[in-house]
Amino acid sequence: MDARHFIEGVFLVYAALLPIVNPLGAAPVFLAMTRYADDPTRAVLARKVTINSFVLLMASVFIGTYVLEFFGLSIPIVQMGGGLVVCSVAWDMLRSADVSKKSTTEGVQDPGAVSTEAFYPLTLPLTVGPGSISVAITIGANHPQTVRSFVTASVSSLLGVVLICLSIYLCYRYAERLSKFLGSAGTAVVIRLSAFILLCIGVQIMWNGLDALVGITGPPHVPRP
């Protein structure tokens, strides 16, 4: 009985987060942001982004509700603010003449600079965006009654998040092979296209937040954090 719940929980977390984190879709964006970095740097960045994503997702699942309560925020507001940030990153990528003006060309030798870049913008909001954060918070918001089911739920969400991070690592680590396969012209096209898709994702997240706040498609249903 517990084993079934456990496996169900792992798949639920994985299935809920994978389409939103979308490592396959984010890989070209990762390439664009690290275009002038060399291979070892990119490997370091892929590892750091994976670790950052893991910590961020776990924190959202386990303490997200309390953090929101502490600052008096609701999930739709996080979606509004976060969607705006995603839009701005995507807009810069789409419109800039040189796609990776903000890449880590300079200072790649400095591990501090790499890890700074690895958190913003590579982890938040590119890999783990506001959409993923709000899904993770919602997953964590279902409090089980008994200690036993709490442990089951915690371990299964831990495993689900580990699986997600493994997918992120694989996609980012081998993004370069993809770009070699596509060639420079092909990569440029893919990057512009994914920048546009990212912009649309940002608008979608903002719209979801706004919809929940004002109830355009129905009465407002602000989920209590």
Partner 1 sequence: MLDEDLQQLVKAILVVVGAILPIVNPLGSAPMFLAMTHGADTKTRSTLAGLVAVNSFLLLMGSLIFGNFVLKLFGLSVPVVQLAGGLVLCSLGWRLLTDDDPAPPVAAPEEASAISRAFYPLTLPLTVDPGAISAAVTIGANHSSNITRILIAIVGATIGVVIIAASVWLAYRYAERIAQWLGHSRLMVVLRLSAFIVLCIGVQIAWNGTKALVEEFPFAAPAPAGVQKH
With tokens 């796609």, the residue in question is: 99
Residue 52 in contact with partner 1, rule: CB under 8 A: yes
Residue 71 in contact with partner 1, rule: CB under 8 A: yes
Distance, CA of 155 to CA of 10 (rounded, Å): 8
Smallest gap from Cβ 120 to partner 1, in A, equals 4
Which of 115, 149, 154, 204 lies at the binding interface for partner 1 (CB under 8 A)?
115
User: From residue 83 to residue 102, what is the string marking binding to partner 1 with x (rule CB under 8 A)?
Assistant: -xx--x-------------x
CA dihedral 210, 213, 214, 216 (to 10 degrees): 60
Contacts of 100 (CB under 8 A, 6+ apart): 32, 33, 34, 35, 36
Smallest gap from Cβ 178 to partner 1, in A, equals 27
Residue 73 in contact with partner 1, rule: CB under 8 A: yes
- CB neighbours of residue 198 within 10 Å: 24
CB 220 within 8 A of CB 212: yes
The interface region with partner 1, picked from 9-17, 119-127, 176-184, 193-201 by CB under 8 A, is 119-127
Binding footprint of partner 1 on the chain (CB under 8 A)? 52, 70-74, 77-78, 80-82, 84-85, 88, 102, 111-112, 115-116, 119-120, 124, 213, 215, 217-221
